[in-house]
Structure 1
């Protein structure tokens, strides 16, 4: 007799919030490190984008922590350390920032799918903001940022 695979359940609204919070912890850490790798005098636009997005992601992280607590749960903690890219040029810093924003878009798209009411409204708004930010990082415009599987 063969064991049939256990069907994967869809994430709960709380799971989606926690996964999104975990992604925000990682991007805040990354943008802190990338800011230290970027020369404001040689790359003022990139340095300004990093500073701005660092603040945006810190705010989102704080909002997510409130949303998780509102659900009666303890927010997931940041990891003790994160792998960092060896970003030594402006192009590598920009690529790392773009990749981080793409991962955030994916978690916000998953949050839209798994939540309702205010949490969904907030995730939709944040996903739209992230889509605009992706363009600033150099991404091509796509119909469904964060959800490429919808194109299939």
Structure 2
């Protein structure tokens, strides 16, 4: 696998972490019943974002920046808030699967940990357990 491929896939995952942080902030602010869970998840995603930014730099890239906003519907209740978070966690899992398949060593280990974290988070937010998360 080439460094360019690893960089591209890591950047994709990083972009999704930015979106997760934005989504969790929105959910936490708009749905008081989910504020504590969103705050906890936001801290986890912020740590992952920082680690991925470092990984991108080590690969010779410049970390992709967060967008000013994302195409995420405003949550109107706990059910829609959970759905928004599950959606981004599912997409993170899919990005991690691509990295697992395309990388070795440390990058693969990081992607496996990311896949596991996204799959567990998706279930915590009300998703059904999936024997093969990230493979839609």
Q: Which runs of 5+ in 1 are unaligned?
A: 1-10
Match of 1:95 in 2: 83
- Contact 1:94/1:137 (CA < 8 Å) preserved in 2? yes
Give the number of the structure whose residues are more often helix, by fraction. Answer: 2
- Contact 1:17/1:64 (CA < 8 Å) preserved in 2? yes
Normalised by the size of structure 1, how large is the TM-score?
Answer: 0.82
Within 5 Å, give how 1:1-152 maps onto structure 2. Answer: 12-39=5-32, 43=33, 46-148=34-136
Shift of 1:104: 1.0
- Contact 1:16/1:115 (CA < 8 Å) preserved in 2? no
Alpha-carbon deviations, 1:96-133, whole Å to 9, x = none?
Answer: 11111111111111111222210110110121122111
Normalised by the size of structure 2, how large is the TM-score?
Answer: 0.91
Shift of 1:23: 0.7
SS of 2:40's equivalent in the other structure is: helix
**Deviant stretches of 4+, over 3 Å:** none
Aligned residue-pair number: 133
Q: Which runs of 5+ in 2 are unaligned?
A: none
